[in-house]
Amino acid sequence: ISYDLLLSAGIDLVSLCLILKQEERGELIQPVLFVLLVLVSVLLYFAVSLMDPGFVLSDGSDLQFTLGIAEETQDMIPPTTKSLRQRRCGHCLLQPMRSKHCQTCQHCVRRYDHHCPWIENCVGERNHRWFVLYLAVQLLVLLWGLHMAWSGFTTAPTWQLWLRGNGVLLGTVAVVAVLSLTVLLLLGSHLYLVSLNTTTWEFMSRHRISYLKHCGSEENPFDRGALRNLWGFFCNWGAIVWEQVYFREGNDPI
């Protein structure tokens, strides 16, 4: 929480100074819109950090659901191939496909992507799209704040006087620029992985994942094309049974 709140507080401090300057010139629309965007970013942060990322329930309902899916997929497997080996977790019993046990949260998470220290929560099936939206809004805030801070520089006859009058603002611009680059890289990497219908965990550890390690380095059993992957990620709000998607594509069982 400290990252986002400190970042928002720092940007708000810079924007407040610029608002006071623009108020003298009678310009208030852009700074007010900027502050509203910062508030949206903070609300998204709390929503993503407090949201259930897709924890696999331990009350038996998820266990029955997974067992039912396993029985259904057995009918989809050719008789010449080996039987389906159900994935198991030492803490949460059966694991649905694409889920992983998070050692920090102590839960299995559906379509696990990663555990994010920024939001102090896992990123999974239920909050991944909101996490990407949060990154996009955060990037807009940072770039807008960078533009506003840059426009706040004043001129001076010598560079010593300029540095004395703009030193704090220059430091703020440097920090915001680094954060902007970091968020841009994060957002770009997540959109790239989403377009492939893979997760950070699957991308980094596919050689150790039972249902992916037998696939070729360029083969992804969940990939349906970039446009369909993006549409499904952002517009499909229902739960997806990945076992059915996996075997529908004609892959060998795990």
| 189 within 8 A of 27, measured Cβ to Cβ | no
Distances (CA, A) of 69 to 94, 134, 209: 12, 33, 20
Q: How confident is the model at residue 150 (pLDDT cuts 50, 70, 90)?
A: confident
Active site residues: 116
Which residues does residue 88 pair with via DSSP β-bridges, in sequence order?
A: 94
Is residue 250 pLDDT above 70, yes or no? Answer: no
Give pLDDT tens digits for 184-236.
999 999 999 999 999 999 999 988 888 888 877 678 889 999 999 999 999 98
pTM of the predicted model, to two decimals? 0.80
CA dist 134 and 8 (Å) reads 13
**Per-residue confidence (pLDDT) for residue 78, from 0 to 100:** 46
Is residue 117 pLDDT above 70, yes or no? Answer: yes
Residue 193 tokens read as 């992985």
Segment holding 29, helix H or strand E: helix 29-50
Give pLDDT tens digits for 34-65.
888 888 999 999 999 999 999 987 655 554 54
**What DSSP string describes 190-239?**
HHHHHHTT--HHHHHHGGG-TTTTTS-TT--TT---HHHHHHHHHH--S-
**Per-residue confidence (pLDDT) for residue 81, from 0 to 100:** 42
Mean pLDDT estimate for the chain:
79
Residue 240, SS3 per DSSP? coil
